[in-house]
Amino acid sequence: LAPAPLRTAVDVETADEAGFLQDLQRALAAPPHSISPKYFYDAEGSRLFDRICELPEYYPTRTERAILSENAADIAREIGTGCDLVEFGAGSCSKVRLLLGDLRPRRYLPIDISSEHLEVSAAELEREHPGLLVLPVAGDYTSTFHLPPALAGAPRVGFFPGSTIGNFTPAEALQFLRGAARMLSGGGLLFGADLVKDPAVLHAAYNDAQGVTAAFNLNLLARANRELGADFDVDAFWHSAFYNAAAGRIEMHLVSRRHQRVALGGECYELDEGLALHTENSYKFTLDGLRRLAVQAGFRPQAVWTDPDRLFSVHWLRA
């Protein structure tokens, strides 16, 4: 029998053009000149992000993968097999592969904003794991999305790797975790978080020698040209990434190299030389800080796994 065709469970237009246009116009028009990093992830941005994950300087992916694969059996013992596994921002679904053999979920629901990328990886995963039910959900997990009904007897477990939680402000992180705690009640959340460390290590991770992170950041403008008909001169901006120690976060900006005008959505924006468009925050955490945040959100923190150098952490929280 041929396998049933893979269908997207929910096809909401989330990385919607209207949202991108509005948010980019707002960012250009007035301070704080900031836009959500979710707009990085069109097909090209998702490809560039996958390349970032392979960079020698970008330790988070490699370290988290090592933590997950070395502790997969232990993680499965803590969580228990047969859950209904929901991944927030699944991308290429590569990390969940490290857990599937031990965790043996009944079903896997990867949610991602880049639906094209998601469909391809979900189909691949289903081929590799006959018997695993994979239902991709195209959507923005930071806003409202709809999941198929829960499976009777299968606790819902969230998987949120990659320190994507670091993209949220502390208030947004709390709000996200509160929502997750409600949605995962009776199950829990397994999530990865990057840790505070030597700023030089952080700086290198976001300023790689090959310039892939710069290309990833600048792709936001190229995407606006492609999708919104904007006329950004991409070469007239430079990639800036630095550690803001007071805030405990890496910040990425796109800085205007000169005074310039940009047309976008029927409006014209004048950008001064040095104007910095704030495209991403990537917060770094302490183990204690994370546990406090989890408790505040209504979770009961369980086990934590880290690497020997304490670069990265994986947390299991019961809801």
Contact set with ligand AVJ (CB under 6 A): 52, 60, 162-164, 166-167, 206, 213, 280, 282
> Of 107 and 284, which CB lies nearer to ligand AVJ in the complex structure?
284
Q: What are phi and psi of 264, to 5 degrees?
A: -155, 120
> Of 25 and 142, which CB lies nearer to ligand AVJ in the complex structure?
142
C-alpha 151/C-alpha 109 separation (Å) is 12
Report in angstroms how near the CB of residue 227 gets to ligand AVJ at its nearest.
20
> Of 155 and 162, which CB lies nearer to ligand AVJ in the complex structure?
162
Closest CA to 145 of 178, 191, 112, 120: 112
Q: Which residues contact 207 (CB under 8 A, 6 or more apart)?
A: 57, 213, 214, 239, 241
- Determine the 3-state secondary structure of 78 from DSSP: helix
Q: What is the DSSP string of 173-225?
A: HHHHHHHHHHHTTTSEEEEEEEB---HHHHHHHHS-TT-HHHHHHHHHHHHHH
Residue of minimal CB distance from ligand AVJ?
A: 282
- Determine the 3-state secondary structure of 109 from DSSP: strand
Q: Give CA separation, 61 vs 50, 162, 165, 314, in Å.
A: 10, 7, 14, 12
> Of 213 and 256, which CB lies nearer to ligand AVJ in the complex structure?
213
> Of 136 and 192, which CB lies nearer to ligand AVJ in the complex structure?
192
Report in angstroms how near the CB of residue 115 gets to ligand AVJ at its nearest.
18
Report in angstroms how near the CB of residue 217 gets to ligand AVJ at its nearest.
7
Report in angstroms how near the CB of residue 81 gets to ligand AVJ at its nearest.
28
Report in angstroms how near the CB of residue 220 gets to ligand AVJ at its nearest.
11
> Of 63 and 213, which CB lies nearer to ligand AVJ in the complex structure?
213
Report in angstroms how near the CB of residue 16 gets to ligand AVJ at its nearest.
21
Report in angstroms how near the CB of residue 51 gets to ligand AVJ at its nearest.
10
CB 65 within 8 A of CB 304: no
> Of 52 and 220, which CB lies nearer to ligand AVJ in the complex structure?
52
Cα angle at 279 between 274 and 282, to 5 degrees?
A: 120
Helices (H), ranges, 5-114: 17-29, 43-52, 59-70, 72-79, 97-103
Closest CA to 60 of 205, 244, 253, 249: 205
